[in-house]
Structure formats: structure tokens, C-alpha cells
Amino acid sequence: MRFTVCWLGLKSRAMPLLRLLFSVLLIGKGDSVCRLQGSAQPPELAQDGDLVIGGIFSFRTGQDYVTNTFQSVPEVRKCKNFNLREFKFAQTMIFAINEINNNPEMLPNVKLGYKIYDNCGTMDILRAALALVSGLKGEIRDDNCTKAETVQTILGHSGSRPTIAFEQVVGRFHIPVISHFATCACLSNKKEYPTFFRTIPSDYYQSKALAKLVRHFGWTWIGAIAVNNKYGLNGVAAFVQGAQENGVCIEYSEAFSSSDPPDRLQRIIEIIKHGTSKVILAFMSHREIKLLSTALYKQNVTGLQWVGSDAWITDHSLTDSEGHSILVGSLGFTVSRAQIPGLEEHLRELLPSQFPDSQFVRDFWENTFDCSLNETANTQRKPCSGFESLQNVESQFTDVSELRFTNNVYKSVYAVAHALDNLIKCEDGKGECDKQESVLQYLSTVNFTTGEGERVYFDKNGDSPARYELVNLQMTNKGTMDGITVGIYDASFPESHQFIMNNIPVVWGNGLTEVPVSVCSESCLQGTHKVLQKGRPVCCYDCIPCPAGEISNLTDSIHCMKCPPEYWSNSQRDACIPKAIEFLVYDEILGMLLALFSLLGVFVTMITTLVFYCHKETPLVRANNSELSFLLLFSLTLCFLCSLTFIGRPSEWSCMLRHTAFGITFVLCISCVLGKTIVVLMAFRATLPGSNVMKWFGPAQQRLSVLAFTLIQVLICILWLTISPPFPFKNLLLYQDRIILECDLGSAVGFWAVLGYIGLLAVLCFILAFLARKLPDNFNEAKFITFSMLIFCAVWITFIPAYVSSPGKFTVAVEIFAILASSYGLLFCIFMPKCFIILFRPEQNTKKHIMGKTFNNDIHH
């Protein structure tokens, strides 16, 4: 056996590679035969022309070779079944070419031809591609090789894997390949696929759109299953990246192919069964989704919402699978539908006589009309005339109601025509353009608008703009599944407006009437925040209530926000509300009690004043310096009243008044007590022989001393109010959940100067009273003054630590208590014994009783 090959019409740099490929793929029989194995089975559909466009489609389906060691010639492929969609693609290509040939404004005086190959496996695709690249026309004998007829462009294939296989070969010869359905993002790599173009968007954009879709419906926990090839794996990889950017987590990601052993598919079924996600992304072809849905249907695995890729979401053959009911409600993106005027008439006018060399057309005709075109064939079918009409035949082939990918074929042909038209019209001054190099160059710059108003162009990667329709698989009255458009996605729009839903109701998987829920963890409500679960994806978390003082007013909040200083979180932790402002008020029990004791003190003081006034001429009142007594009672009344200034909402005036009034009235009170103490001492000295001391501390001197002591305190208060007066202050540090409205001292020195001066007078008064406590007087006030000053000093000494340590409004309460306690101490110790004698022991309120006691004391001494 001897092989001889004629190589015509190819550049010298392509010869070594093409020789190697033909050594594998070419078969010759007999001696001196020069024949192309790819041409051993001629094109299914062909038409001569000045310029030829190639096409590769899969009219039939078959199985790939299991193994191929290249040690022997592979067996001839046996293809079976009919793929009417692919046949429609080929007829659309023919229709577009005929339309262009009849258009005098495009490619004038140039007739386009076509050579369309049918294949059903990877090896067939390579044979067809090499046949188109070689340009060999028919059988070639070693003594008469015909001229080359290299195609300008190859249209196809519908699958990414076959396209990858032959594009790497034909790309070496700078022949463009335009696919209408190969969506693998890997084909955008111009270094590996330099001559590849497509009229369908890359899976990169579809994956991004699918990620936005699942996020739009709140599906943050999903499974992903792909076909085990570059189309599926790259598509899922891009989807996972987009999903992570949109906060979607993948529970599992698996891949298989239709040629895998059954146990591989069964393992995936078990993963789905045990998974918690209710939404599954299926990035695969119609073959794999049919296998998967049938297996799930047989094992009664339901309740799933499917999200599909464009390779199967609108495939009409899904209804033929046993488990198609599993897929009802599926959502997925696909290219926009379109109308091609005149295409239906072209399809229905098809006759076998138009393609007498096409075995597929004959098989298609016989299968459609259930007859036989071969009269001599041994068959039970009735004979066909070949002139039967498709006008009344309703099939996937004649259905033009939803031209999605078919329109991509139509656009591909027109893209090539525009590139060739521009190429022919080019003028560089050196003759004709280099057609092989320039077709590729001009194709990359194509930019035109179809009759439907759709703009067609290719970006730097050879991709078309990303525009999709969101379709929902719904059952029709005919019992078939139809893709209903329920939304659109356009990557050219701004980010926030790329995905838009329309008002058409969506049918959900498993017959649900509402959007399915597929989350690892339920949404965290307002008032809580997410805390990730250790060792699990970010979509799996616990919802923890926000701490006090922090809120989250959004669902699924990651962090809680702190409230502003004057605000606090409500009980639900979803809003900041103004903090409660706290100060001592009359409405609460503490304020009421303190005000009551203050008024009671005023009342008791007024009663005491009334008693003294009614008995002012009695010896007891006269003997105790009635003038200073009344002044002391008046000052005590002011002391009781000034405690009321500490109750109520602090203001600028109340803050300045409460401390200054307290300081001045208490100094006035202590000054009176001090004056009475001095009077007692002076009175004793005056009883001694030759003593004339009373003239130095008479009524005038007493008044002057009280005035002088009080003016000193007034001066201290004026300086305090002038330099740094007290002012209302919101204390935000004492409590977190409320504001203490209090009076800031302004100047602490001024406050402690006021208290210190009062303390100085009190200590002085106590010392003098202590010295005069045993003086021989029946009604010696020094003993009572000593007790009163002892109580006064004890109260104010304990006041200091209590004042410093008391929180909030209790600081004010402590100060009021100190004022009232010291005031009551003075009132009771100094005046109550005298009132008791005046009211209940009038026999002791006589001059004789007072003088008698004094006289007896003198005898003993």
C-alpha cells in the first residue's frame, strides 16, 4: 500500500504541520492514489462560488472514540439520530448566503459559495476542518491534481470542545473561525486562538450574570455541577469568582461528562441528596443535563431550583428526556430572540433535489415523511417522490418562533460578507489585497447593524457584546417546555441597571409559588450582626444581638454601629434613641421626700419663731439674746428653702443660685450661732467684779460681726461667679445608657472655698462653745451650741466622701441631705429645749428660777 498526497494552495510554513495531520487522518486505498480522507465523505451541503465559506455542524449525534492509540486506522464513524437544530443552523447559513448573493449592494460581481460538513465527533471535526483548510476539491489523482479552493472563513461549531479542537489547527493558517454557540471563556485567549470570533457572548459574562441572578433572589448557598470540559470548568470557575464578589457561597462543585462511568453520576446524585442548598447551577450541555435530571427523577430527588447555562436552558429536546419535569421552573440566560424575514419560507421550500449528494437530506426527508426515496431499497416504507411539501410540517426544523442561536448563524454570515466586501473595496495602490491575511484583519473591524436594529461587532478578543434574556422554563398546553423571557441582562448598562426583571410571573421549581430559599444561615434581622462559624464558608454564620449602645438597622449586618454620645440603643438594638436625661425632680419619691423635709423644716422654724415672738418678753427669751435668735431662725428658714434650689432641671441661674445661696445662708446662720456663743462668753465675763467687757460686744457689735462674716462669704461667691461660675453640664461618662444633667462647679476652688469658710466658722464656733459649756448659767446656750456644732461638723465631714462617691442625681441628694441635717441639728439643739420650757415648763421661765440657779452655783464655787 502506497500513499501520495498533493499539497496545493498552502503557504510553505504550514506544510510540515499539515503533512503530520494528514498522515494521521488520511486514508488511501490502492497504488498511486492521491485522495483526502476528509473528502472521502464529501460535504453534506455545497455550492460553488468565487469565494467560499466553510461550515461545520453536527446534523447527527454519536459517541466519541473510547481509545485511540494511532497504531491503526480508526474505524469509520457510525452517526445516528437527527439534530434538527443543527440542520436549521446550516440552512440558515445557506439562506443568508443566497440573500447576500441576491443583494447588488453587497459583494457586487462576487458570488459566495459554501461547503458545509456534517460531523458527530471530534475526529470528524478535524477531518472536516482540514478538508476546508486544504482547499482540495473532490478526489485528487496523482496524475491530475486540481486547483485549490480554500475557504475564506469557517462557521461553527456549536460546541466549545469541538471548536477548541479544530480552531487550534486552522488558526495556524490564519483562517477565521466564527462560532454561533461556542461560549467557553477560554476561547477569548488570542494567544491560543488568534483567529477565533463568535456572535454569542463569552461564558465569562454569562457566569457574571448568573452570579448576579442568584444574588438577586437571595440565594447565597448553592451547589454547582458542570460538564467535565473547558466549557463547564471555566464557566463554573468564572461563576464562583462572580459569586464570591456578590456574597454567594458554593456548597459543592462537581463535574462529569456523558462518557463517564455510571458510578461517577451516582456519586453526584448522593452529594445532591445530602446537600442543604436548594438551588443548583448546571453549567453543562443538553446531553449531561438530560442524564442528570433522569437520574434524579428515578431516585425521586425533588424540591430543587435549577439555574442553567445557555447550552441547555432553551433546548427543545429536553422534553424528550424522562426527567424533564425536574427541570420545570429552571432559570437561565440565553441570547436574545430575533426574527429573520424569509427564513421560514426558505426552510419549508427545502427539497432533496436541491442537494442530490447529501445523504443527510435524504435521511431527513425519509424520516420526516416516513417514506423511502430509494425505490430499490428493501424497506417497508412507502416510496417518496421527493416533492413532498414541508409547508404543513410542524417540527423543530420549521419552527421559527424563537430564533436565538439561529440568528447568531445569520449574523456570522453577514459579518463575513461585510469583511469580504470591505476587503474587495480596499485600495492600497499595489494591486489586490492579501485575501488570507486581510479577511482576518477586516473581520476584526466589522461593525454593522442588522435589519432588526441589532449592532454587530467584535471586541479585541473576538467576542460579541454581552446581552442576554433571562428565560424561565414553563410547561405549555402542548406538554412541552418553553423558555419564557422574564428579564434581561445587558453588560453595557451601568452596574446597578444591568439586570432587570419584567412583570411576567416566574414559575419556580417543584411547583412553589414563592421564591425558594437557599441559604446556609437565615438572614440576621435588624438588631443583630453576623458572627462567622468557625471552619465554614462566609455564608454560614450565627446571628448575635448587638451589644448595648450599638445597633444594626440593616439585615445581615456584619458589624454593629455605635450610637452617638447622646444616644443609646433601644431594646431591639435597631435604632439609636436619645438617652434619658436624669436629674433630681419633684415627681420621684426621693425628690418628694427631700422637698417635704425641706418644707417641714421651714414650717417648724416658723412655728419656733412664732413661739419665741409670742414669748419675747419672758426671761428665757430675753436671757438668750432674742435679736440673734430671731436672726438665726430667719437664716435657718433660708437654709431650708435653699435646698429646694437643688431639685429640678439645672439651668444657668439655678446652678449659680443653689451653691451661692447655700453658702451665704449657712454663713449667716453660723455667724449668728458664733455671735450667740461670744455673747455667752462675754456675759460670764461681765458678771465678774470690775469687768466691763459687754460694752465691747453689745448689740451693735453683734450685728456688725454677723454682717462682716457674711460679707466675706458674699465676696467669695462673687469672685467664684465672676471667674468661673457653675453651669449646667451633661455628664455622659457616669452612665452609658443615660445622661446625668448636673451643675458643673465651674471652679472647684470656688466651691471648696465656700465650704471651707463655712467649716472654718463652724470649727471656731464649736471651740468657743466647748469652752463655754460649763459656765454657771441655768440656761447656758453653750452646751446646746456645742451639740449643734458637733452635729454640723459631723454631717459635713461625712458629706465630703459621700458627695464625691455618690453617682448622678444622688450627689445632689447627698448635698440636700447635708443641708437639711445640719439645719435640723441647729434648729433642734438650740431652740427645741427652750420651746419645751416655754410651752411645757412655764414655771421654769421666771427670772427667779434663772437667778436662783446662778446664785447656787456661785455659793458652791
Per residue in 443-464, pLDDT (tens digit) is 988 999 998 888 999 999 999 9
pLDDT category at 774 given cuts 50, 70, 90 is low
State yes or no: pLDDT of 272 exceeds 90.
Answer: yes
Determine the 3-state secondary structure of 196 from DSSP. strand
**How far apart, in whole angstroms, are the C-alpha atoms of residue 279 and residue 308?**
11
- Give the model's pLDDT for residue 273: 93
pLDDT for 219: 92
Written as nine digits, the cell of 309 is: 447555562
Confidence of residue 795 (pLDDT cuts 50, 70, 90): confident
Say what the pLDDT of residue 342 is: 93
Please give the share of the chain, as a percent, with pLDDT higher than 70. Answer: 83
Stronger pLDDT, 832 or 691, i.e. the higher one:
832
Could you give the 3-state DSSP secondary structure of residue 550?
strand
> What does residue 731 show for φ and ψ, rounded to 5 degrees?
-85, 105
Query: What pLDDT, on the 0 to 100 scale, is given for residue 698?
Result: 63
Q: What is the mean pLDDT of residues 512-537?
A: 89
The ranges of the chain annotated as CATH 3.40.50.2300 are: 37-135+147-200+350-374+392-448, 203-336+463-511
Task: Report the range of poorest mean pLDDT among 14-28, 47-61, 207-221.
Answer: 14-28
Residue 784 half-sphere exposure toward CB, CA atoms < 13 A: 19
Q: Rounded distance, CA 159 to CA 632, Å? A: 110
Give the span between the Cα atoms of 145 and 148, in whole angstroms: 9
Single out the residue of 767, 405, 816, 454 nearest to residue 644, CA to CA. 816
| The C-alpha cell that represents 240 in the structure block | 464562583
Give the domain 203-336+463-511 fold: Rossmann fold (3.40.50)
Task: Tell me what the mean pLDDT of segment 261-284 comes to.
Answer: 93
The amino acid that residue 789 corresponds to is M
CA 235 – CA 161 distance, rounded (Å):
13
More confident residue, 179 or 700: 179
Q: Which residues contact 305 (CB under 8 A, 6 or more apart)?
A: 219, 278, 279, 280, 329, 330, 331, 508, 509, 510, 512, 516, 518
**pTM score of the predicted model:** 0.61
Residue 429 has pLDDT above 50, yes or no: no
For the segment 311-340, the average pLDDT, to the nearest whole number, is 88
| pLDDT score of 427 | 47
User: CATH number of the domain at 37-135+147-200+350-374+392-448, out of 3.40.640.10, 3.40.50.2300, 1.10.10.10, 2.40.50.140?
Assistant: 3.40.50.2300
Q: Which pLDDT score is estimated for 446?
A: 92
Instruction: Please give the residue that has the higher pLDDT: either 550 or 377.
Output: 550
- pLDDT by residue (tens digit) across 186-199? 899 999 999 999 99
Residue 10 has pLDDT above 60, yes or no: no
Helical H runs in 546-625?
589-614, 619-623
Give the pLDDT of residue 139. 45
Mean pLDDT of 720-732: 88
Bridge-based pairing state of the strands 279-283 and 305-308: parallel
pLDDT of 146: 44
Q: Is residue 651 over pLDDT 70?
A: yes
Peptide bond into 157 cis (omega under 30): yes
* Cβ 133 vs Cβ 169: under 8 Å: yes
Residues 6+ apart with CB under 8 A from 109: none
Q: What is the pLDDT of residue 83?
A: 84
The arithmetic mean of pLDDT across residues 679-696, rounded, is 58
The better pLDDT of the pair 378, 437 is held by: 378
**Minimum mean pLDDT among 41-50, 429-438, 837-846: which range?**
429-438
Greater pLDDT, 144 or 755: 755
pLDDT of 410 above 80 = yes
Taking alpha carbons only, the member of 69, 88, 118 closest to residue 396 is 88
Beta-strand (E) ranges in 317-454?
331-334, 371-372, 382-383, 447-449
Please determine, for residue 136, whether its predicted confidence score (pLDDT) is greater than 60: no
Q: Do 738 and 582 meet the contact criterion of CB atoms below 8 Å apart?
A: yes
pLDDT band at 170 (very low <50, low <70, confident <90, very high): confident
Q: Chain-wide mean pLDDT for the chain?
A: 81
Positive or negative, the CA dihedral 302, 304, 309, 310 is positive
Segment among 100-109, 110-119, 822-831 with least mean pLDDT: 822-831
What is the model's pLDDT at position 385?
87
C-alpha cell at 747: 471652679
Q: What is the pLDDT of residue 378?
A: 62
Q: Is the pLDDT of residue 809 over 90?
A: no
pLDDT score for 19: 42
Q: Residue 90 pLDDT more than 90?
A: yes
- Provide the pLDDT for residue 134: 78
311-329 average pLDDT score: 87
CA distance 545 to 543: 7
| Tens digits of residue pLDDT in 341-393 | 999 999 999 999 999 888 889 889 988 898 888 766 666 788 888 889 999 88
CA distance 861 to 857: 6
Helix or strand holding residue 500 (H, E): strand 499-501
Q: What is the C-alpha separation between 516 and 509, in angstroms, rounded?
A: 8
The partner residues of 739 in beta bridges, in order of sequence, read: 581
Q: Which residues pair with 467 in a beta bridge?
A: 490
Picking from 505, 545, 508, the residue whose alpha carbon sits closest to that of residue 528 is 545
Three-state DSSP string of 225-258: EEECCHHHHHHHHHHHHHHHHCCCEEEEEEEECC
Strands 455-457 and 51-57: unpaired
Q: Which of 131-135, 298-302, 399-403, 436-440 has the lowest mean pLDDT?
A: 436-440
What are the CA-CA distances from residue 776 to residues 22, 82, 782, 853, 858 (Å)?
Answer: 145, 138, 11, 8, 8
Cell 467584535 belongs to residue: 458
- Phi and psi, residue 208, nearest 5°: -65, -40
Segment among 7-11, 253-257, 736-740 with least mean pLDDT: 7-11
12 burial level (CB within 10 Å; 0-12, 13-18, 19+): exposed
pLDDT at 370: 87
282/210 Cα distance (integer angstroms): 11
Mean pLDDT of the region 300-326: 88
Point out the least confidently predicted range of 351-355, 539-543, 845-849.
845-849
Residue 419 has pLDDT above 50, yes or no: yes
Q: Which of 790, 792, 775 is nearest to 854 (CA)?
A: 775
* Per-residue cell: 589: 419619691
Considering only CA atoms, which of 169, 144, 140, 142 is closest in space to residue 154?
169
Q: How confident is the model over 643-652, as a mean pLDDT?
A: 88
Instruction: Give φ, ψ of 458 to 5 degrees.
Output: -125, 140
Measured in whole angstroms, how far is the alpha carbon of residue 841 from the centre of its chain?
88
Q: Using 50, 70 and 90 to split pLDDT, how confident is the model at 4?
A: very low
Place of cell 428493501: 378
pLDDT over 90, % of the chain: 30
With cut-offs at 50, 70 and 90, classify the pLDDT of residue 80.
low
Q: Which whole number is the average pLDDT over 390-417?
A: 90
Instruction: Give the C-alpha separation, 780 to 769, whole Å.
Output: 10
Residue 344 in contact with residue 400, Cβ under 8 Å?
yes
Delimiting residues of CATH 1.20.1070.10 domain(s) in the chain? 595-855
Report, as an integer, the average pLDDT of 787-803.
78
Which H, E and C letters describe 560-576, residue by residue?
Answer: CEECCCCEEECCCCCCE
Quick one: pLDDT at residue 551?
A: 94
Q: CA–CA separation, 64 vs 121, rounded Å?
A: 5
- Least confident segment among 70-79, 170-179, 607-616: 70-79
pLDDT for the residue numbered 11: 40
Is the pLDDT confidence value at 76 over 70?
Answer: no
Confidence of residue 5 (pLDDT cuts 50, 70, 90): very low
Q: Are 197 and 182 in contact (CB under 8 A)?
A: no
Coil vs helix vs strand at 112: strand
- Within 8 A by CB and 6+ apart from 607, the residues are none
Question: Nearest-CA neighbor of 463 among 199, 234, 178?
Answer: 199
The pLDDT-based confidence of 838 (bands split at 50, 70, 90) is confident
pLDDT band (50, 70, 90) for residue 282: very high
Strand partners, 305: 279
Name the fold adopted by 595-855: Rhopdopsin 7-helix transmembrane proteins (1.20.1070)
Contact residues for 266 (Cβ-Cβ < 8 A; gap 6+): 295
pLDDT at 34: 39
Find the range with the poorest average confidence among 2-6, 426-430, 575-579: 2-6
Average pLDDT over residues 616-641: 81
Looking at this protein, which amino acid is placed at residue 128? A
